[in-house]
Structure 1
């Protein structure tokens, strides 16, 4: 499994790489807590090619499995990682959406 996801933005012809990493912190006598760090970089164009930019964490923890994410027309879709998301309002098939052009998460999930 790769923590990287390559996407193409048709409107700007840029290619960007999205990176996410989940780490679990453990506390003595308590359960673990998952934290997800995300970054993005442009491979070409005027989008700061070669420099990684930290972006906000997704609205919920996304799956790191490459089978559970895809980029279509410059928008990345991630199946949520329900093992680490204990939100009562999340559905088992919820999808987080990230715009590669804007480098922002959509506030609502599919």
Structure 2
């Protein structure tokens, strides 16, 4: 049985978009050619941000680019989703509504949204910074347009730097007695810096067993953490340097040789 790989690429020029696919067959050699898809994208696709797309069951899902600065498209909200079927090489003509409640569905919310693939399902992620201070995860029921809320995680359980507001840090620094004006000024600046450098995004990567979720936390620097939504426990397993990027996450068994290396 031959295995096929089918990548999708998008082109933007002169205010319009087109898409192409390429079929790579194992053992078939070179000579593969990009070809135009059978239909065009049903909305403008934002393909430059990794958090804006996720692939589940051979279908690539793209989140709307409807930010406050993007051109308006009729019927496109901040959480609207377009889908491309890699098997049929066609864009699905109908756009899909996301799970955001109607009273929160304004264009300023778009930077707070992302898509992920968890346990073979499409998941929408919404960082509700104010006033709820939660990270809400919805799962799309397969072959439907129905969203079910999975979790509503307190931001401070997942991201560092959200325990207190910047004003609280500044007030605490100002109240400390016995310090020179210069020293207090330095403490206030340090408190403001910590607030500005707090982690701002938690992107789910994979489910890793026992209900735990691997999350890439991003701020001035970053980290990979294992979060247990049932208990709120969050274990940091790796740091990501400034400018670093988590491209993938493997959840299978290690090869015998690699397992031996890890034990040394």
TM score, norm. by length of structure 2 = 0.31
SS at match of 1:67: helix
Say if 2:64 and 2:77, in contact at 8 Å, map to a contact too.
no
RMSD, aligned CA: 2.1
Per-residue CA distance 1:32-81 (angstroms, 9 max, x = gap): xx1112100011169xx711111232010111122211111111101122
Consecutive unaligned residues of structure 1, counting only runs of 5 or more, are 1-11, 26-33
Using the alignment, how far apart are the partners of 2:57 and 2:46 within structure 1? 20
In structure 1, the residue matched to 2:87 is: 101
Of Structure 1 and Structure 2, which has the larger fraction of its residues in helix? 2
Divergent runs of 4+, >2 A? none
In structure 1, the residue matched to 2:139 is: none
Consecutive unaligned residues of structure 2, counting only runs of 5 or more, are 97-264
Using the alignment, how far apart are the partners of 2:71 and 2:40 within structure 1? 13
Task: Find 1:59's aligned residue among 36, 42, 59.
Answer: 42
Say if 2:8 and 2:22, in contact at 8 Å, map to a contact too.
yes
Instruction: Please state if 1:50 is matched with 2:32.
Output: yes
Structure with bigger RCO (C-alpha 8 Å, 6+ apart): 1
Aligned length: 88
Rg comparison, structure with higher value: 2
Using the alignment, how far apart are the partners of 1:71 and 1:14 within structure 2? 16
Say if 1:60 and 1:85, in contact at 8 Å, map to a contact too.
no
Of Structure 1 and Structure 2, which has the larger fraction of its residues in strand? 1
TM score, norm. by length of structure 1 = 0.69
Following superposition, the deviation at residue 85 of structure 1 comes to 4.6
